[in-house]
Structure 1
């Protein structure tokens, strides 16, 4: 029961990012009219959030290594609530952008500290199983958020969406304050001096095993981000699906991702985590390549959807194992390591996913090619940089 409670609380904290990015997307046209802003200017609200999340993780990760997890976490969630409320009352797009930066900085606390807290509480096989359990909560967030935002938009204005985010943050602030204990004891904390923080980041970047797993995770996340950002245009534009049919297909992919993560949780302990991670990356690569073949062969929607399902489900093996293995050897730098993992995911995903849209939505080929390249590069990174592994064979350890 305690593990399930941790999964719900930490899963909710990691959902701040996808909810804040995706929930208001259906409201962008209405926001442009209300704020008298162009589409390009309004897109800066998304860019500001992504940059704020990256900067916040780099700052709050090391701070949580120095002051424990609870204080930076609760302060960050409170800042998220304040930033969301400022979004509600913003009279101009310029003030909305500034409020989004505050909101993002606060959201980054939940994302980066949740991963670090998992490393504090678990190790070895138990950590990988917990990350698989966490995906029950976090795996659906980026997929359900636009649907939830659209439903809220039928009941309220775009300001109501940010009000709902503020309410969600306030609820999690209360729950975390009472249900989440301090997970980092005082004797394991590190000083927060800039020189010490920089040395910590450099030591992580010099560890080729950490870099290999971090790149594998980031590139797999980028392939998933490509799917999320491009699939609507491809499946509706190239294959003529209605919005309702597209939502069903998209939901089917979400179910596959979550089911794969739960199968992974069952298999951890019977197979090496490194092997399960490589299996997931192979599934992503082979599935995307099969999509390329189906697109070039003109097999239609029936030929594209099965390999697309495989490619998406493969991430259910990649994300829990890559995260667990990347954090395994650095318990003393869990906050900083979690920050680098988060920044890499958002940076690689944000930079690469728009490439799939350059060729338009007339074919699944550009999306499939980019997904195959990203998953293949992730497989190469893990295979060449993360060849040494001992900690993934640890016996299961319970809650600390």
Structure 2
């Protein structure tokens, strides 16, 4: 349960304030498209921070880096609550993200410390089923807070969540024994990234998960305006539409747990990647033609997000199984890739915002197709480490 909570921090930190984005923009006198930069700033911190926490945990263990990260998360959330401009909030969101990513990165590494093969994929999917509850509840909780308090209270709630999680870490055991830790100087440990990035099959796993998440964060940044502003959905109802994606993720992760032992994680990942490509193109069609109105946009978005249940756990497990001896560094690359493309996705939607869902649709089509190509071209059946 603690690992699920740690992995949910990426969603907890963002989804809860999505319904407040239009209100925040008005209160902070933000220009059109600039509120979305609070998501981009978060993703920058989240992406780069993982590259530090991963190698550090391979050298000193998992528990201490997670605790230090949680302290940074609490400080960043408090800073957001007292921000008086979008620019200041973007900076504090980056601090919050650098802290939050420690738990997410190292929770994946802890799973690899304890499990391998199909069993690791099953455990990762199980964690993601629980983790999917966060985006299921987050926007609804944010909408309820807005009804009784200001948007600043949402970040005060995140401070409380961080403090509770920090207390729970006292019960988390260390899963990387001293005998299995990397002994090289930390500066040399960071050089591991150069070796890892020369492995085509690893790049395939990174590409599948990374491009998927580029579309997901375009969805996160774009749907508040596509639903609330363009289709006139009430802010309190936005959480319900957003929650549909989480239900789809949970359902697909459930099927993944049941099928991965029989069909294999790579095959299921490829099925999910092809689905993401098709759904991304459907989203673009609906966004540019307004075919089907609100429902015509909601359905393919739901199906795209649902593909996460077949892709994320299997891509993560495939990458970690290639290099278990540096699981922290591999996990950091996974997260940096996912949130790095997330930066591009959310920034694209914000930069080309025109009051319509078209930037959202175009972005999701691009990332969906590249996700498919990564799975088909780089993660070929029967290939080994260097295939």
TM-score, scaled relative to structure 2: 0.86
Q: How far off its partner does 1:27 sit?
A: 4.4
Moved more, 110-119 or 138-147: 138-147
1:40/1:295 CA distance change after superposition, 3 Å: closer
Tell me the secondary structure at the aligned position of residue 387 of structure 1: coil
User: How far apart, in 1, do the equivalents of 2:187 and 2:121 lie?
Assistant: 32
Structure 2 equivalent of residue 395 of structure 1? none
Aligned counterpart, 1:75? 68
Say what the alpha-carbon RMSD is for the aligned residues: 3.1
Evaluate the alpha carbon distance shift between residue 310 and residue 91 of structure 1 in structure 2; reply closer, same or farther with a 3 A threshold. closer
CA distance in 2, matches of 1:298, 1:28: 24
Report if the CA contact (8 A) 2:61-2:177 is conserved. yes
Q: 2 CA distance for matches of 1:148 and 1:215?
A: 33
Among residues 225, 228, 235, which one is paired with 2:220 in the alignment? 228
Point out the more displaced range, 353-362 or 323-332: 353-362
* Equivalent residue number for residue 191 of structure 2: 199
Aligned residues: 383
Report what 1:10 is aligned to: 3
Indicate the residue corresponding to 1:385 in structure 2. Answer: 378
Alignment-derived partner of residue 331 in structure 2? 338
Q: Which residue of 1 aligns with 2:176?
A: 184
Query: Which consecutive residues of structure 1, in runs of 5 or more, have no partner in the other structure?
Result: 1-7, 393-400
Cα contact 1:224–1:312 (8 A) shared by 2? yes
Question: Which residue in 1 is equivalent to 2:204?
Answer: 212
* Stretch moving more, 183-192 or 290-299: 290-299
Quote the offset at 1:97 in angstroms. Answer: 5.3
Distance, in Å, in 1 between the alignment partners of 2:371 and 2:275 is 12
Residue 5 of structure 1 is matched in structure 2 by none
Find the aligned partners of 1:349 and 1:67 in 2 and give their Cα distance: 29
The structure 2 residue matched to 1:173, chosen from 159, 162, 166, is 166
Work out whether residues 285 and 361 of structure 2, in 8 Å CA contact, stay in contact via their aligned partners in 1.
no
In the TM superposition, what is the alpha-carbon distance from 1:32 to its structure 2 partner? Answer: 6.5
Aligned to 1:108: 101
Q: CA deviation at 1:248?
A: 3.2
In the superposition, the TM-score normalised over structure 1's length comes to 0.84
Distance 1:121-1:372 versus aligned 2 partners, 3 A rule: same
Matching residue within 239, 246, 261 for 1:254: 246
Give yes or no for contact 2:197–2:203 (8 Å, CA) kept in 1. yes
How far, CA to CA, are the matches of 1:32 and 1:240 in structure 2?
17
Gapped regions of structure 2 (runs ≥ 5): none
- Cα displacement string for residues 90-135 of structure 1 (whole angstroms, at most 9, x for unaligned residues): 6777765554443222112111111111111111111111111112
Report 1:35-184 matches (<5 A): 45-88=38-81, 99-178=92-171, 180-184=172-176
* Contact 1:62 1:192 (C-alpha < 8 Å) held by counterparts: no
Q: State the SS of the aligned residue for 1:206.
A: coil
